Structure 1
Amino acid sequence: MRVLVTGAAGFIGSSLSQVLLERGDQVLGLDNLNAYYDPRLKQARLDRLLPYKNFSFVRASLEDRPAVEAAFDSFGPQRVVNLAAQAGVRYSLENPQAYVDSNITGFLNILEACRHRHVEHLVYASSSSVYGANRKLPFSVEDNVDHPVSMYAATKKANELMAHTYSHLFGLPTTGLRFFTVYGPWGRPDMALFLFTRKILAGEPIEVFNHGRHSRDFTYIDDIVEGVVRTLDQVAAPSPAADGPASPATSHAPYRLYNIGNHQPVELLRYIEVLEQCLGRKAERRLLPLQPGDVPDTWADVEALSRDVGYRPATPIEVGVARFVEWYLQYHGG
C-alpha cells in the first residue's frame, strides 16, 4: 500500500513507519520537526527511515494546507495515519493556540485532503486524555467523554467529532485510536520515563506528582505499533445496527473508536522502582501534588480492539523499561 504517515519523525510515527516499510509498503512521512522538544532526536529517528528505498519525506506543518495538499497530490496515498499533533497536557495550559493550530486546523486539512482524494482509510491519534474527569475504571469507549480537563484533551475529543462528521457526510472511513501512555526506546523527552532516567543518572531529584499514587496504563511502543497496523489494515465500516449511532464508538457511518493500551495499570511508584532496578540507582524523590490538567488514573478497556483486530499487548513494564534504559544509554553514549 501507499501510506502517508504524519508525525513520521515522532515517537510513534517513526516506529510505525519502520514497520510499514519492512513489510513492503510505500511510505511518505510528513513532519515539521518543530522544537517542542529536541529536534535532534526527531532527526535521529528520521535518519533511521531515510535509507529505505520505499520511504520519502516532506517537511511541512499540518496547518499549512497547500503543503498538505501538495503532499497528497504528489504521493497519492491509499491510506493515511495521522499522528502529527501538538502533544502534552501541561504545555496546553501555557500555549493553547498551538493546539488549535495543529490539532484542529491541521486535522481539518487532513480530513479535507482525504475526502477530496478518496482515501480508503484514515486512522488518527486520539488520546486517553479525552476521559478527563471520568472516574469509572477501566475507561471504555462506550463511556461519555464530555468533561475534558485540558485543552489538549478537548482538541482530541474535537478530532473524534470532526472525523465522525466526515465519515457521515462523505463516507470517509475513519478510525480513532485513544492512546494510553506510550513508552519505550526513542520515546519523547517530555515524558516521565525519559525525564526520570536523565535526572537519576545526573544525580538530580525527580518530581513525583500526586505523591506517586496515580496509576497509568503504560503501553510499550511495539504493542502500540502492532495495534495501529492491524487497525490500518481493517477499514472502518458502518455498524450493522443501522438507523443511528450504535454506540459512542461506532456509527451508521464508516467510523470507529478504540482504546489502545496495555489493559494493566501500574502505579507510578512501581514504575519508578522498576526504573531504579534497571539503572542500578535509587532516585531522590520530590513528592508533589497532582498537576492541573492531569488525571489520577488511566486504565484501558481494550476488549473492542482485541475482538475486532486481534490486538494483544504482550510487554510487561519490567521488559519494556529495561529495553528503554538499554536504548537510552546507547543513544547518549552512557
Structure 2
Amino acid sequence: MSGATRIDVHQHLLPPEFIEALERHGMGAWAPAAWSEEGALAMMDQNEIATGVLSLSMPGTHFGDDAEARVLTRKINERLAGLVKRRPNRFGMFASVPLPDIDGSLEAIREAYDDFSTDGVVLMASIRGTYIGDPAFDPVMAELDRRAAIIYIHPTPLAGPPAPGVHPILADVLLDTTRAAINMVLQGVPRRFPNLKIILAHGGGFLPYAAYRVATLANVIDQKTSDADVLDGLSSFYFDTGLASSSTSLPSLLKFARPGHILFGTDWPYCLDKTVTFFTGSLDNFGDLDLSGHSAINRQNAEALFSRLAGLVS
C-alpha cells in the first residue's frame, strides 16, 4: 500500500503518571521503554499509519486504592484528551476507568464523554480475577450502553501464578481475553447491552480458533445454552490484528469474524518496532485478501466504527 492510511486501534500511551504508579507499586518491569509523541509518530509513519487510537495498557489505573485510582484516571484521561485535541488527525483515545470502583468508573465515563469527547473506553479483561461480564460490573456496562460506547478489551496477566519459564505475554494474556469474551457471552452482555461495540485485543486471543469448541461444550455444560446463541454472541465482537496477523492466525480470524469486524492494530510500544513491522508486513503480504479486503482491515472498518475518524487524513 502507499500513503499513510491505516487506523491503528491498538496503540498504547505510557504517560509519566502511569510509569510512576507502576514503580510505586512494584510493577516497574511492566512498562517498556519510555513513550514519546515523536517516537509514536515515527513508528506510525514507518508503517503507514495515519491515526493511532491510544489506550492505557495493563493493569489499568486501579492499584488497590479507590481515591488514588480516581486521581490517576483523571490525569491520564486529561493528558490523552490534550494530545488528541492538539493532533486530532493523528491520535484518538480510549479513556480509562478505575474498575472495580463502580462509582469512580461512572464518573470517569461521564468526564470522558462530556468533558473530553473520548472515542471510546478501555477496560481490562479482568480485574484481580473478576472478569468483564460479571454482574458486579453491570452498572458500568449499562452506562456505556446508554452512550453507545466503543469498548476496547485489553488483557492482564492471569490472577494465578504464571507457569515457570513461560512469560505471561506468551500465552496467559491471550487466555485472559478469551475468558473475558466467553464470560460476556455467557452472561448475556451482547444481548443485554446491544448498543455496545466491543473490540478484543490480539485477534481475540484464542477465541476464533476455539469458538466452536466453546459453543458446543457450553451447551453440554448448560443445555439451556444453545450452540447458535453462543456462536452469535462470540462473533458479535470486533478483533484487532495486533500480534495476530501472521499466516497461521489470520485464516482463523478471517473465517470466524463477521464482515467489517477486523481492525488493524500494532500493540506498540509494548511490541518493538521490528515486531510491528513483521506483523504489518505479514498482513500486507497475505494473499488470500484482495485489495478491498486489505483496505477494509487497514482503515474502512475502523472508519465505520469511529465516526470522528472517517475522512481524516494525516
Regarding TM over 0.5, the answer is: no
TM category (shorter chain) comes to: 0.3 to 0.5
TM-score normalised by length of structure 1? 0.33
In terms of Rg, which structure is larger? 1
The structure richer in helix per residue is: 2
